[in-house]
Structure 1
């Protein structure tokens, strides 16, 4: 333990001496959380819908069939009551619920004004707006109208669940958390260990009385602690600056974040073991982890719209599962009963990476 603490102290001093690295570590998350929270927006689309048909007439069935036949939507559930709405959203697949009111067919045929209610998942405001626009067009086409006027027979009414103020932060904060922690853990850890190889000090450390795993732990622990501090800073900025309260369990969010951080540290260690230069480690980190995280994790683009091979690749990215966990806990206020499958996937990835790191490191020592 004393040897471990000595090496941890040495690594901390090395990090603290590098002012540019510290500026990147702490300046980048602050800039990105503010930039993504206030300025950046994208348009995405999804297909999973649920229907609550309180009318149950031929007219309502024709409208449902028209929606289901559209290539952008897939009716995943038929609800029996409005009380099932929130449970449907917590599952993570449903992005919108269409509520067809009772007497809908009768009011339409008699020329009375009636409304269709659209309840959208407001954690992704761009996706919700996209869904609303598509559904409105389908309804317009269904009634043979070009625009919706105040005196129209049917008008869709939208409600944003979890985000009634229509903010962009609920979508981007979880993604920024996953991306920043990935950068700190994977890139910085891989480069820190490979740097020792390039300077020739790794061989000196390996022939010392120190156990190899102590050397690896000493390299990883400072970035683990820095990642925890950065996680805390992101959460503080989210609550205080972006006005995005944590709806679920803070303890559960921290616990799963620690597992995600350890998983990323192991990725960085594996990269450092199989590479011999900082340039190679950086290239593998950028192409193998950061780019797939941005493109395939669901942060920038919805996974459901991607080709099946890309969806399969996305499922082996730890950030995809962490992103969904953060959205469920932080924004929707769900608990372990909803995210336990995602947690098991992260634990499985962490275990596999640990086994690979241990075996690869032993091979290199032989």
Structure 2
């Protein structure tokens, strides 16, 4: 135990002396949380739209006023024709055109089908879908109010559970937590043993009485403690800056996060063992973990829409399971009865990685 503590202190001093490492450890999480929380938000805010009102009736004016009073849209142009709408799209600022046809009010008051046309800019498909969804909700609400006034029809009522304000933070924060912890833990530990090889100090460790698992623990413990500090910092930023309350059990979230951190640290140790240079270890850690996490974990793209082979590959990514756990606990407020299967998968990955790291650790340098 004394040897382990001594080795852990040595690793701590090495990290604390390196200002660039400290900047990466604590600067990158803060920047990414703020960046994803604000700059990369999917919320629709003050989106410029154009309106072609061919009806000029009281109903069309009320609809336009309802849209203008909404915080999501800004009626930028009062267009006269489709040609003007195309010019507005080419300008790049207008994201949608609402076309109110003639006899719109007459058809609605007489009980006939009153149609509206929504034209979106398909060059940005995600934005187009977001704008279309928000505008459809406003129009449906308008139809419902008109139906109440005429005592006819059915009023649709839409409720968005867990995120009624349609903010971007509930979507991004769980994924950012998984991404940051994975990158930090894997990257830092991936170069730990490789650095000893390159500096020529590995021979000293190998002739010491310490067993392989002691060396692995001593390399991982400092980064484990730093990862806990980073986790706490992310949660504080999410609650205070991004206004994202933790609806579920904080203790459960923290406990599962520890399992995820250990899994990532062991993954970094395995990469460190099988590589011979810090550059190779860093490349594998970044490309081999960051890209699959972004692409296949469900953070950026729905897993259900992916081909089956990619869905299978995604199941071996620890961040996928952790992302679903954090989303359920933080956003939905669910408990152990929902996430226990995901936790067992993470524990299984952790044990497999620990077994591999101990078995692949070489007691002799070739």
- The answer to whether TM tops 0.5 is yes
Give 5+ residue unaligned stretches, structure 1.
44-107, 114-125, 141-146
How many pairs does the alignment contain?
Answer: 281
Paired residue for 2:79? Answer: none
Paired residue for 2:102? Answer: none
Residue 351 to residue 131, structure 1, CA distance change in 2 (3 Å): farther
Paired residue for 2:205? Answer: 205
Give every structure 1 segment of 4 or more consecutive aligned residues whose post-TM-superposition deviation is greater than 4 Å. Answer: 110-113, 129-132, 134-137, 147-156, 362-366
Paired residue for 2:296? Answer: 296
Residue 159 to residue 131, structure 1, CA distance change in 2 (3 Å): farther
Paired residue for 1:176? Answer: 176
| SS of aligned partner of 1:301 | coil
TM-score by length of 1: 0.71
Paired residue for 1:68? Answer: none
CA deviations on 1:201-233 (whole Å, 9 max, x unpaired) are: 112111122222222211111100000000000
Partners of 2:161 and 2:112 lie apart in 1 by: 28
**Which residues in structure 2 correspond to 1:138-217 (within 5 Å)?**
151=146, 156-217=156-217
TM-score by length of 2: 0.71
Partners of 2:283 and 2:23 lie apart in 1 by: 22
Paired residue for 1:92? Answer: none
Which of the pair has more CA radius of gyration?
Answer: 2
**Which residues in structure 2 correspond to 1:283-322 (within 5 Å)?**
283-322=283-322
Residue 271 to residue 364, structure 1, CA distance change in 2 (3 Å): farther
**Which residues in structure 2 correspond to 1:100-111 (within 5 Å)?**
111=111
CA deviations on 1:254-283 (whole Å, 9 max, x unpaired) are: 110010001101100110111000111111
Conservation of the 8 A alpha-carbon contact between 2:192 and 2:269: no
Conservation of the 8 A alpha-carbon contact between 1:42 and 1:300: no
Paired residue for 1:224? Answer: 224
Q: Does 1:2 align with 2:2?
A: yes
Paired residue for 1:234? Answer: 234
Partners of 2:23 and 2:215 lie apart in 1 by: 25
Partners of 1:156 and 1:131 lie apart in 2 by: 19
Query: How much is the aligned-residue C-alpha RMSD, in angstroms?
Result: 3.0
| SS of aligned partner of 2:300 | coil
Residue 134 to residue 166, structure 1, CA distance change in 2 (3 Å): closer
Partners of 2:233 and 2:364 lie apart in 1 by: 38
CA positional deviation for 1:243: 1.1
Partners of 1:23 and 1:265 lie apart in 2 by: 19
CA positional deviation for 1:291: 0.8
| SS of aligned partner of 2:159 | strand
Partners of 1:244 and 1:20 lie apart in 2 by: 30
Conservation of the 8 A alpha-carbon contact between 1:136 and 1:156: no
CA positional deviation for 1:355: 1.4
Partners of 1:300 and 1:7 lie apart in 2 by: 40
CA positional deviation for 1:158: 2.6
Q: Does 1:255 align with 2:255?
A: yes
Partners of 1:338 and 1:240 lie apart in 2 by: 27
Give 5+ residue unaligned stretches, structure 2.
44-107, 114-125, 148-152
CA deviations on 1:132-186 (whole Å, 9 max, x unpaired) are: 739959x99xxxxxx9696475664432111122211111111111011111111
CA deviations on 1:110-144 (whole Å, 9 max, x unpaired) are: 9499xxxxxxxxxxxx89x759739959x99xxxx
CA positional deviation for 1:21: 0.8
